[in-house]
Amino acid sequence: MISILDINIKNKILLIRSDLNVPIDQYGNISSDIRIQLSLPTIKYALEKNAKIIISSHLGRPNEGEYNPQYSLKNIAIYLEKILKRKVILKKDYLNNKLIFKKNEIILLENVRFNLGEKNNDEILSKKYASLCDVFVMDAFATSHRIHASTYGVIHFAKQSCAGLLLINEINHLKKFLKKPKKPLISIVGGAKISTKFNVLNKLANLSDKVIVGGGIANTILSLNNDIGNSLYESNAIHLAKKLIQKYKNIIVPVDCRVSESLSNDSLVKIKKVNNILKNEKILDIGDETIKIIVQQLQKAATILWNGPVGVFEFKKFRKGTEAIINTIISNNNIFSIIGGGDTLAAVNLFHALNKISYISTGGGAFLKFIEGNTLPVISILENNT
């Protein structure tokens, strides 16, 4: 596909679709800026070429067609202004008014998901996005599996379209990983639902020497032969868990867990074997014996792929398993580590270890679909748009 490096963008108006969908707390503070940081190379390259820059992004899941200050990009604009040392103007009514550029200013469009028709790839909306620029730059890998107006439809109508540096980098690294990962390869897959990750679990079980599962996925598998109390699991996906366990012998499930009757920083925590959990107890993290088994496996690995924490790491008492995985990965310089998914990034960021991970993917759903071998719509259209 055509890269931003392949075309002349000097003095042109660029619409860069970035992924600035970052966690923001109730006080307006950005708790993890990794997606913003990884979006900067494309923006800075465009600045070097004296391009006029418009940036678009979504944030969260607001009701389409409705402005909601909770999902405004105003705090993103303030943050970008600080790190780029340029005035960043947040534009709300940009679809019906001509954008006026002032010297050294960057325009940030308000949350694209406030626009009616964004999610169903409305043609009129797509044309309006395209009319804003000379060149559309798709740089949001995390949304490349979405057929939305700001990611997909706009490419059909823009005068010229290309891929940004982040998008190119993501594709190159993931293709290289899937083609020939260095062995032994250990994959770690956490998350609530086995149903949403069933296909990627199959793919990774075929590709990996071992697959470690955690969270609700592990609970659903454990429920085949154990009473898991009041734990999160998918009762309607038991058949999928059974298929995986019967087909693959390289899947590692917990042998003990950290359980509690409540979920808080004051919870009373017990470590129990998986066959000894009471009705009113919830599995909230893996136990020490399971941690030992996992660490032993990870220490043998040449490549580790990780998507999804193995416990409710947001609470101090239930992050020991996730912390052990992070410490094992970063303590071995010979391991090539690749992580993807917002929760995984947040977990690694919590322990200040992002700069020690070999490769960070900004994608969650897109990351998983790419690994499954699915064609991502936005990637496909860019490849055919040469």
Active-site amino acid positions:
35, 193, 342, 365
CA distance 57 to 110: 8
| 185-189/359-361 β-pairing | unpaired
- Stated as kind and residue range, the H or E segment containing 283 is strand 282-286
| 161-163/303-307 β-pairing | unpaired
Burial class (CB in 10 A: 0-12, 13-18, 19+), 226: middle
Angle at 221 between CA 317 and CA 185, to 5 degrees: 80
CA distance 377 to 292: 41
Contact present, 346 and 287 (Cβ < 8 Å): no
Q: Which residue has the tokens 């990965």?
A: 329
Burial class (CB in 10 A: 0-12, 13-18, 19+), 23: middle
* The two three-digit tokens of residue 137, written as one number: 């730059």
If we measure between CA atoms, which residue out of 165, 160, 143, 236 comes closest to residue 198?
236
* The two three-digit tokens of residue 104, written as one number: 């050294």
* The two three-digit tokens of residue 107, written as one number: 């325009």
- What is the 8-class DSSP label of residue 62? P
- What is the 8-class DSSP label of residue 384? T
CA distance 367 to 359: 12
Contact present, 87 and 106 (Cβ < 8 Å): yes
Contact present, 319 and 311 (Cβ < 8 Å): yes
End-to-end Cα spacing for the chain: 6
- Amino acid identity of residue 356, one-letter, is K
